[in-house]
Structures are given as structure tokens and as C-alpha cells.
């Protein structure tokens, strides 16, 4: 039997590692950034764009897909892969993060969460069992446990209750049926409390999941606290299982988290920023809507070869944004997703080549210089 | 010297003809549909999409481009081609249609039209001379005269005044400087009055333009009146010059107008309808937002091989529209533009093959059947 997770190379200077996750829809080379396809589409983009970028895995949102188009449609289409026409791997979240965000619209019990749809107000009930069943029907390659994600800041008592229910729910998820080949990840909680993070991780490790996610971060806590929590978590999460940091992030955070031993990331940042005109570039973050770009006929990122940068100028993209042209949203989103996909590919290669630290320094000194000049 | 317009084949049964317009940016095979790139972009689409469809000519709007990004930007980029990164031909309108639509914001004199920008209310003055100068700077391959386009309905006296000023302005346009290789078209007016259409055409023919447009149609008049006016116009417009019907149109109107001797068309319909979920298909017009498509896993148009139809189902596109995903607007717009580009290519081939009438009957009987079933 093929191993689910192989480590190809370990960085000598840090916890960074280059690996491969073998999924039912092909290999996923790690560390990896997973573009977010909330409603069965990467916002402003299409599946052929993901193929052209060589994307091996994307994320889909159980909460959104369950509500619309609904499981009846997706099942008839042969699962989320068939519905979307996407052939590589899909990770689906459990909907926990979304239903806990519906503060006015939900009621939590030991059994599960009752909530009202943000679309039409209809009542629904998510339990660990039916959330796993939904992901079974979606046919995702990596299935996430149903967890409680508390807000930041949370009192320790509140964070503790979230850890406890997350562990009990994880047991019920683990006992639920999945299809052959579907992988199941546990999600650790514990806010920023090291003792809670340790307990949460230990309890999940004891259940032996295929992989482990760090949930409840990137929800507003200061960056050093996030990094500290990642560091404490990867100290105990098993070496031989993939580690997934949910909802991160920025190029700076991605370098740091890989250094701390994280393998998988997802974030809406590249598409959300793209729709606002913010571009990641090798020289730092820029907002293309700003006046100086009106006459700037250079490529948005001179070091990039994406569909935007290979063909269009900053001045043209600036104009499309100012004129409200939809193509602007596509081009900027495409560039940002390509930027993070390629960034993680470079990071992985630097681990394999044994020069992770040099690459990190070189990237960040160039990337952060602009921000420091501006601020 | 190469002829500007060559007729390749004439249809024996009608006034339809297959030809080629030789522009400074390559040949344009006619009859042709020109996608509309109002603000330097085909709405929801990109220039690489036009290349993949084999588009030979697009339309740009002088009024919009003059206001935003402004001529200073476009001149510095080396003209509209350089600004957009588009290598094939561009026809620019004169802005006449747009400024006459600004009813509350404009003042017409013999000299020209004073108007206020719809963007920021700033005051501007268009004259025949400066509109030609603007198009010279844009570097369009086909330049349109500044005309007065009266609304429908117009009293005969109002339509007559519009013809008269359009003729006087056409003279001033003709006397203005263009770059080598730029072609200049006159625009006929006269609303639905046959005598005025005749006068307008005759006066412009006397000035000897490179081509002739029929303006002031598709502005709300009944379809039979539009067809009648086209027929009266192509009776007198010279055989050896390209004829351009502005603002048309639907597949039905395109077949009929080609039959009446029209060579060029432009219309916002494919992109505007696309953004509303309306698709042209070989089996008629459908609105993909409608409920029956929720479970329809067949391609939007089974006879189409575009990026949408080759890959996605009606159910998926229905979902993208219902979920407000931007990719929906792109896919539907792309399909509709591809549909009209390929339709005109089929029409042209049928003229060359000598079976225009059979193809027209076959297309329309299939295309209109659905509409008749529904109504």
C-alpha cells in the first residue's frame, strides 16, 4: 500500500519539509497553497486557469455547497469533481468556521449546530455525522472534522470548552463512514493558549487522523502570537502526517509557517485582494488603482509570467479597475493566485535544494522593502 | 496599390456578398461581427479571448476612451492598439451616438456638441474636426465621421435636420487629417424616411468615403421598418465599398441584413445578454438562470465548442449565476461572442459555397423553433 504522506526532503536549519500527499485525485506536492473555491468556483476565475497554473489541490466550502447548489444537484453530477469539471484533488472544510460565524443565526448543543441559511433564512442542523456524510457525497479527497472555532479574543474558559467539544465531535467524525480513499483530518483548537493547544493536539493525535489542521488562527490575533502558536503546535503534531494551517495567508506568513513545519495552506487573500486591486509582486504589495499607475506602462510584476504580467501594463490594469471592467477582477485574481502557487513551489524547491534560509531572506528583503519605503 | 475592399463571391439569390477589407492591422473577412470594446476591453472578456476566437476586428468607443483613460494615456501607450495589446483591426465610432444620448447634458450647435461627462460632469466640446483628430490619436484602422443620430421616433423635420448637419459635418470630417492607412467611413441618417435615407446616402457617396455606415437604426423602430430601411439603403450604397449596419444585432437580423448586402456589424447584445444569463444557442435563446437548468447536465449549446460548452454543464453555469460568481459573466459572454463570430463565419462560407438561402432557412428554423414553442 502506498504511503499517504511522504517526506521528500527535510530542511536542515528548520522544521520545513518538502513532501507529497497521495490523494484519490493525484499527488499534492507540499508545502502547497490551496486556492479557495467557496461555491464551486475560485472567485473571478475558472477551472482551466487552475489547470494552467498546475494547481494540484483546491478547497471547497461544505457550508456553501450544501446550501447552494445543494447536495441533490452535486450528487446527480457525480460529486463536486463532476459538477465542476475539476480532475485534481479537493479538500473540503467542515462548515464549522462558517456556522460559528453566523452569530445571530445559530444555536450550539452537544449534538450539533442549528443555524439559519444566510441566503434564505431556512433552518438547518449540522452534526459531526451529517457533516462527514455531506463531504462523503461531495466526494472530496481530504475531509475535515466538524470543529468549534471560537473568535479572537476568547477567554481561556471559552477556548477550553471549544477544545473539549471539538475533541468529542472529532471522535464522532472518526466513527462516521467515508468512501474508500477519502482522507480525514482533525482540527486543533485552543485559541492562543499553549496548554489548550497542547491538549487539543494530543487528544486528536490519539485518534490517529490522516492529517492535522491548526484551526482558530488568522482570526485577528497579533502576528507574533500566531507564529508562537504554530511553533508550539508543530512541536507536537506528528512528523509523519501532513499539517495544515487554515486561513493563511500572506507571503510573509507562508515563509514563516513553512519554516515552522506547515505543509498546507488556504486563504481567500489572493482573490479578495485581487478584486480590490491589490497585487502581490516580487517587489511588494501594490494597489493598482492608485494614481501613479495611470502612466506606468511596465508589467504589474516584472518577475512574473502570468496571463496578466505577460501581456498587460500597470496602466492598462489601472484603467480597467477605474472603468469598472470585469476583466480587471479576473486578471488581478489570476495574478495573485499564480503568485502564491509559484511562491510555494519556489519554497518547496529551496527546501529540496538545501537553501531555504537564503531564499527566504532574499524574497523577504525584496518583498518587504517597498512596504517599509511607503510606511 | 492593394484594393481596400475586395468582393470574393456574390450570392446569386440576394445582395449578400463575401469580401475582405484590407486594414493597416490585417485583413477583415466580411460579412463580419465586430465585438464591442467600449472602454478598451470587451466586457467581461480579455484580448486573448478575441485572439483565440480568430477575431479580426473589434469596435472601440471614442467618447468613452476620450474621457477615460484619456488621450494622454493612450497616446503615450502608442495608440489604442499599444494600450490594449491588441494586434488586429480596430474600428472606432465617432462618439456621436453617445453624446446625443446625453439628452440633459448636451448642447448642439453648427460647430459641434457641447456636453458634460457622465463620469464627473466636466464640460467638453466635440466637433467633426476634433473627433477625427481623437480617432487619429487612437490609431484606429477604421474611423467614423461625427454624425447626429436622432431618436426613434423622430418627426420628418427633425430627421431632415439631422441628415443635413450630418452631411455638413461629414464634409468637415473628410477635410480633416488622418494617418496613412486609416480608413474613413461616412454615416447615413434619415430615420425611417426613405426619401431622407436616399438623400443622406447620395450626399455621402458624392464625398467618396472608404465605406458607408447605416446609422440611426436599431434604436427602437419595428423590425420590418428596420429591414425596409436597410433594403432602401443598400440599393444605393456603392457595391464596391463596405457597408456597415451600426448596432445590430440578433442572429435573425444578421442573416437578413447580410442578405440585404451588409458587410459589417457591431452590437453589445452578446456581452450584455451574457451578463444577464441569456445565451444564444443553435436551438434558440435560453436564459440559463431559469429553474429547469438546475439539474440539466448537458452542455449549454450541444453544437458549440467554446470554452463554456466544451467543459461546463448548464447546471454548473446556472449555479454560478445563482451564486453570483463572476466566472458566470465571463463564460456566458464568451459563448455569445463566439456564437456570433462563428455565425458570421458560417454565413460567409455559405455565400462562398453558393448555399446561402439553404443555410439561412436551416439555421432559422432550428433557432426560432424554441422561441415559438415557448411563446
Residue A100 pLDDT: 85
Low-confidence ranges of chain B (pLDDT < 50): 375
Residue A106 pLDDT: 87
Indicate yes or no: CB of A41 within 8 angstroms of CB of B320.
yes
Of B49, B93, B147, B263, the catalytic one is B93
Indicate yes or no: CB of A327 within 8 angstroms of CB of B41.
yes
Residue A34 grid cell:
490551496
Residue A104 pLDDT: 77
Of B49, B263, B266, B301, the catalytic one is B266
How many whole angstroms separate alpha carbon A189 and alpha carbon A172? 17
Is pTM beyond 0.95? Reply is yes
Instruction: Choose, out of A44, A46, A74, A86, the residue to mutate when testing the contact with B (most B CBs < 10 Å).
Output: A46
Residue B85 pLDDT: 97
Helix spans in B213-355 (H):
223-236, 251-259, 269-275, 314-322, 326-353
Which residues of chain A are within 8 Å of residue B83 when distances are taken between CB atoms?
313, 315-316, 319
Indicate yes or no: CB of B327 within 8 angstroms of CB of A83.
no
Indicate yes or no: CB of A48 within 8 angstroms of CB of B311.
yes
Considering only CB atoms, A73 lies closest to which of B39, B44, B294, namely: B294
The answer to whether A327 touches B46, Cβ cutoff 8 Å, is yes
CA A279 to chain centre: 18
Kindly list the residues of chain B whose beta carbon comes within 8 Å of any beta carbon in chain A.
39-48, 64, 68-69, 72-73, 76-77, 83-85, 294-295, 297, 307, 311-313, 315-316, 318-320, 322-323, 325-327, 329-331
DSSP B140-196: -SEEE-------SS--HHHHHHHHHHHHHHHHHHHTS---TT-EEEEEE--TT-HHH
| pLDDT tens for each residue of B126-135 | 999 999 999 9
Query: B344 phi and psi, to 5 degrees?
Result: -65, -30
CA distance B29 to chain A (A): 26
| pLDDT tens for each residue of A63-84 | 999 999 999 999 999 999 999 9
The answer to whether B339 touches B307, Cβ cutoff 8 Å, is no
CA-based nearest residue in chain B for residue A76: B295
Selection from B309, B325, B307 nearest residue B50 by Cα: B307
Residue B106 grid cell:
448636451
In the residue annotation, B266 being an active-site residue is answered as: yes
ipTM of the complex model: 0.97
| pLDDT tens for each residue of B177-218 | 999 999 999 999 999 999 999 999 999 999 999 999 999 999
In the residue annotation, B93 being an active-site residue is answered as: yes
CB pairs under 8 A between A and B: 117
Long-range pairs, A193-198, Cβ under 8 A, ≥24: A193/A156, A193/A159, A193/A160, A194/A228, A194/A229, A194/A232, A196/A156, A196/A159, A196/A160, A196/A163, A197/A229, A197/A232, A197/A233, A198/A232, A198/A236
The answer to whether B333 touches B45, Cβ cutoff 8 Å, is yes
CA distance B51 to chain A (A): 13
Q: Which residue has the cell 444605393?
A: B236
CA distances from A52 to A21, A40, A49, B153 (A): 21, 18, 5, 52
The answer to whether A179 touches A139, Cβ cutoff 8 Å, is yes
Which residues of chain A are within 8 Å of residue B43 when distances are taken between CB atoms?
325-327
Residue A2 pLDDT: 72
CA distance A140 to chain B (A): 18
- DSSP, collapsed to helix, strand or coil, labels residue A216 as coil
Q: Helix A156-174 and helix A128-138: axis angle, to 10°?
A: 60
The answer to whether B71 touches B306, Cβ cutoff 8 Å, is no
Low-confidence ranges of chain A (pLDDT < 50): 375
Positions of A marked catalytic: 93, 266
Residue A375 grid cell:
510606511
Indicate yes or no: CB of B319 within 8 angstroms of CB of A69.
yes
Indicate yes or no: CB of B41 within 8 angstroms of CB of A323.
yes
Amino acid at each position: 500500500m502506498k504511503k499517504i504522506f511522504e517526506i521528500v526532503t527535510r530542511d536542515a536549519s528548520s522544521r520545513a519539509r518538502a513532501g507529497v500527499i497521495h490523494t484519490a485525485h493525484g499527488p499534492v506536492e507540499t508545502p502547497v497553497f490551496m486556492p479557495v473555491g467557496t461555491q464551486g468556483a475560485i472567485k473571478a476565475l475558472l477551472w482551466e486557469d487552475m489547470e494552467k497554473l498546475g494547481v494540484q489541490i483546491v478547497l471547497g466550502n461544505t457550508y456553501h455547497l450544501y446550501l447552494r447548489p445543494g447536495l441533490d444537484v452535486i450528487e446527480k453530477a457525480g460529486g463536486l469533481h463532476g459538477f465542476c469539471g475539476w480532475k485534481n484533488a479537493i479538500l473540503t472544510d467542515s462548515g464549522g468556521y462558517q456556522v460559528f460565524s453566523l452569530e445571530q443565526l445559530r444555536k450550539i448543543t452537544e449534538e450539533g449546530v442549528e443555524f439559519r441559511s444566510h441566503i434564505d433564512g431556512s433552518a438547518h442542523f449540522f452534526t459531526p455525522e451529517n457533516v462527514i456524510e455531506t463531504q462523503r457525497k461531495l466526494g472530496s479527497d481530504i475531509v475535515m472534522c466538524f470543529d468549534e472555532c471560537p473568535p479572537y479574543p476568547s477567554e481561556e474558559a471559552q477556548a477550553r470548552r471549544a477544545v473539549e467539544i471539538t475533541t468529542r465531535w472529532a471522535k464522532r467524525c472518526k466513527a462516521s463512514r467515508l468512501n474508500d480513499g477519502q482522507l480525514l483530518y482533525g482540527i486543533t483548537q485552543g485559541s492562543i493558549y499553549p496548554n489548550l493547544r497542547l491538549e487539543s493536539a494530543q487528544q486528536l493525535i490519539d485518534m490517529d487522523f490522516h492529517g492535522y489542521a491548526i484551526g482558530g488562527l488568522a482570526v485577528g490575533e497579533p502576528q507574533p502570537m500566531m507564529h508562537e502558536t504554530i511553533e508550539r503546535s508543530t512541536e507536537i503534531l506528528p512528523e509523519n502526517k501532513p499539517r495544515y494551517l487554515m486561513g493563511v495567508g500572506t507571503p510573509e506568513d507562508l515563509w514563516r509557517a513553512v519554516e515552522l513545519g506547515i505543509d498546507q495552506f488556504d486563504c481567500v487573500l489572493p482573490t479578495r485582494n485581487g478584486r480590490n486591486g491589490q497585487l502581490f509582486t516580487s517587489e511588494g504589495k501594490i494597489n493598482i488603482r492608485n494614481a501613479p499607475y495611470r502612466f506606468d506602462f511596465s508589467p504589474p510584476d516584472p518577475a512574473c509570467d502570468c496571463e496578466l504580467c505577460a501581456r498587460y501594463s500597470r496602466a492598462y490594469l489601472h484603467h480597467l479597475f477605474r472603468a469598472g471592467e470585469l476583466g480587471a477582477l479576473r486578471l488581478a485574481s489570476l495574478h495573485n493566485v499564480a503568485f502564491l502557487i509559484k511562491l510555494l513551489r519556489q519554497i518547496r524547491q529551496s527546501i529540496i535544494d538545501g537553501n531555504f534560509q537564503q531564499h527566504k531572506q532574499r524574497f523577504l528583503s525584496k518583498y518587504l522593502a517597498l512596504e517599509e519605503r511607503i510606511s
